[in-house]
């Protein structure tokens, strides 16, 4: 793994002490519009895939850092649809005022895959050139950054910023939105305890997380769920039912079970909303909570309800952690572009911002490891 500290310029490319960078500061081609705004470079930015709290904080930081270095920012709207169809608008510091704590993404998003569109990559290259974009920052998860990595291989100067509430990107310990999503899910699980206890019920809480159980694991443990079921480890329905029965027999007459939407019972498969696939080949998951609640009620005789948190975890205000880290990563992405460190993603490791190869981030899904899975088993059934 190669990495370098963000903020330090690439070899031999010293950042100017202040004011606008000189031409020698850039490895990337100066776009036709260079000189507009006094000699800076136009940086394109887009957000793709599912929205996540903290995206606007990252966009704000990109605009503010770019402006302080004398560059312009062109915001592409609706994910990859933006550069594909030329949907864009300039973003100046005044346009991002108040964006720090706003949920969602002011640039809008979509799950468009340009590699599934005829001449998609060529159209993007042509639109970027026509707009005078000299660097493209993509903020997203495995799909959005996967496209960015492929475009980078084709010669587009790109920098990635990690975002996903699923936290399943490799090469970084932090992704924008995860902290807020876990905070919301934890509070929801907290609330389920009191109502489950009052009614002497079991409640199954279905949490987002397609291929990796990070959000369910973190909120399940932090929220004191009595079982934490994740995609990494198929679960045994009889074991979960036995845990509920044990609790009721011991006089603890309630149970809360956290289950990831992508978790599957042993010998079974994930529960799908429908069979349709999105542009990246993903099926829409959902329904395991309802299925499990019915199975548990049948096996235990305990009244069992289910709740699907769904998109609630992605909405609303970002936490302080997401605001802060999104700001750090957004600024670092501009620094990477400024230094000519293309084909990289800015990442957090040991609370330091580093640059990692984009390919490393998207090459392999980051899933829960054994010690974390063991921790979830340790607290099973306990208060």
With binding defined as CB under 6 A, does residue 134 bind ligand F6P?
Answer: no
Binding mask 137-156 for ligand F6P (x = CB under 6 A): ----x---------------
Q: Where are the alpha helices (DSSP H) in the chain?
A: 55-68, 81-85, 120-130, 142-153, 178-199, 214-222, 237-249, 288-300, 320-338, 358-362, 370-378
Can residue 367 be called a binding residue for ligand F6P (CB under 6 A)? no
Q: Minimum CB separation from ligand F6P for residue 165, in Å?
A: 5
| Residue 291, CB-side half-sphere exposure with 13 Å CA sphere | 18
User: Residue from 31, 44, 48, 50 that binds ligand F6P (CB under 6 A)?
Assistant: 50
Report the C-alpha gap between 66 and 90 in whole angstroms. 12
Q: Which is nearer to ligand F6P, 52 or 202 (CB)?
A: 52
Helix axes 320-338, 178-199, angle to 10 degrees: 160
Contacts of ligand F6P in 283-322 (CB under 6 A): 285, 314
Q: Which stretch binds ligand F6P (CB under 6 A): 7-15, 98-106, 207-215, 319-327?
A: 207-215
Cα dist from 300 to 89, 192, 238, 292, whole Å: 57, 19, 10, 12
Distance (Å, rounded) from C-alpha 41 to C-alpha 141? 26
CB of 213 to ligand F6P, least distance (A): 11
Query: Which residue among 6, 164, 219, 359 contacts ligand F6P (CB under 6 A)?
Result: 164
Pick the piece of the chain touching ligand F6P (CB under 6 A) from 32-40, 158-166, 189-197, 359-367: 158-166
376 SS3 class: helix
Asked if 50 and 61 touch (Cβ cutoff 8 Å), the reply is no
Q: Which of 166, 168, 322, 335 is catalytic?
A: 166
* 166 has catalytic annotation: yes
Output phi, psi for 216, to 5 deg. -65, -40
Q: Is 136 within 8 Å of 344 (Cβ atoms)?
A: no
Rounded Cα gap, residues 208 and 104, in angstroms: 17
Q: Which of 50, 114 has the CB closer to ligand F6P?
A: 50
Residue 79, interface with ligand F6P (CB under 6 A)?
no
∠ Cα 69 326 116 (to 5°): 95
Indicate the residue among 208 and 218 with the shorter CB distance to ligand F6P. Answer: 208
Alpha carbons within 13 A on the beta-carbon side of 5:
5
CB of 281 to ligand F6P, least distance (A): 13
163 binds ligand F6P (CB under 6 A): no
Residue 103 interacts with ligand F6P (CB under 6 A)?
no
The piece of 34-42, 208-216, 229-237, 333-341 that touches ligand F6P (CB under 6 A) is 208-216
Chain position whose Cβ is nearest to ligand F6P:
208
Rank residues 222 and 308 by Cβ distance to ligand F6P and give the closer one.
308
Helix runs in 20-176, H state only: 55-68, 81-85, 120-130, 142-153
CB 292 within 8 A of CB 306: yes
Task: Pick the closest to residue 30 from 340, 341, 355 (CA basis).
Answer: 340
Residue 88 or 112: which CB sits closer to ligand F6P? 112
Is 209 a binding residue for ligand F6P by CB under 6 A? The answer is yes
Interface with ligand F6P (CB under 6 A): 50, 141, 164-166, 208-210, 261, 285, 314
Instruction: List the catalytic residues.
Output: 166
């Amino acid at each position: 793994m190669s990495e370098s500290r963000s903020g330090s310029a690439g070899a031999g490319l010293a950042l100017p002490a202040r004011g606008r960078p000189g031409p020698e500061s850039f490895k990337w081609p100066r776009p036709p519009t260079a000189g507009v705004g006094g000699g800076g470079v136009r940086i394109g930015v887009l957000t793709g895939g599912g929205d996540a709290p903290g995206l606007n904080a990252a966009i704000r930081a990109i605009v503010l850092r770019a402006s302080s270095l004398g560059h312009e920012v062109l915001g592409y709207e609706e994910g990859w649809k933006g550069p594909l169809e030329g949907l864009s608008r300039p973003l100046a510091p005044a346009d991002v005022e108040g964006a720090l704590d706003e949920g969602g993404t002011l640039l809008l998003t979509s799950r468009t895959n340009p590699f599934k569109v005829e001449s998609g990559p060529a159209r993007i290259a042509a639109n970027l050139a026509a707009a005078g974009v000299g660097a493209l920052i993509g903020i997203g998860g495995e799909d959005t950054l996967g496209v960015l990595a492929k475009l980078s291989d084709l010669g587009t100067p790109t920098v990635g910023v990690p975002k996903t509430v699923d936290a399943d990107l490799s090469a970084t310990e932090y992704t924008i939105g995860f902290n807020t999503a876990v905070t919301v899910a934890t509070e929801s699980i907290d609330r389920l305890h009191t109502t489950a206890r009052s009614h002497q019920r079991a409640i199954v809480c279905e949490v987002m997380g397609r291929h990796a159980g990070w959000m369910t694991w973190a909120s399940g443990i932090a929220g004191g769920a009595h079982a934490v079921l994740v995609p990494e480890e198929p679960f045994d329905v009889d074991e979960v039912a036995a845990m509920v029965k044990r609790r009721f027999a011991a006089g603890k007459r309630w149970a809360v079970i956290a289950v990831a939407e992508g978790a599957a019972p042993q010998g079974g498969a994930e529960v799908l909303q429908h069979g349709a696939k999105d542009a990246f080949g993903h099926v829409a998951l959902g329904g395991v909570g309802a299925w499990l609640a019915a199975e548990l009620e049948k096996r235990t005789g305990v009244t069992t309800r289910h709740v699907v948190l769904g998109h609630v975890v992605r909405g609303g205000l970002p936490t302080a952690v997401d605001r802060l880290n999104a700001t750090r990563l957004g600024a670092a992405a501009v620094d990477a572009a400024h230094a000519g460190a293309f084909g990289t993603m800015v990442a957090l490791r040991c609370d330091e911002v580093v640059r990692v190869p984009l390919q490393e981030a998207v090459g392999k899904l980051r899933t829960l490891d054994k010690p974390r899975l063991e921790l979830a088993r340790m607290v099973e059934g306990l208060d």
